[in-house]
Amino acid sequence: MLPIDFIINTLFRLVNALEVIGGIAATAAFFFGLAKYIWAAGDEGKAKDGRSIMTWGVLAMFVLVSIGGIIGFLQQSTGTGIYGPAPIPITIPHLVP
Residue range 60-90, pLDDT digits in tens: 999 988 988 887 787 777 766 665 555 566 6
Confidence of residue 29 (pLDDT cuts 50, 70, 90): very high
pLDDT of residue 54: 94
SS3 at position 88: coil
SS3 at position 93: coil
CA neighbor of 51 nearest in space, from 37, 41, 38: 37
DSSP class of residue 85 equals S
pTM over 0.75: no
Model confidence at 1: pLDDT above 80: no
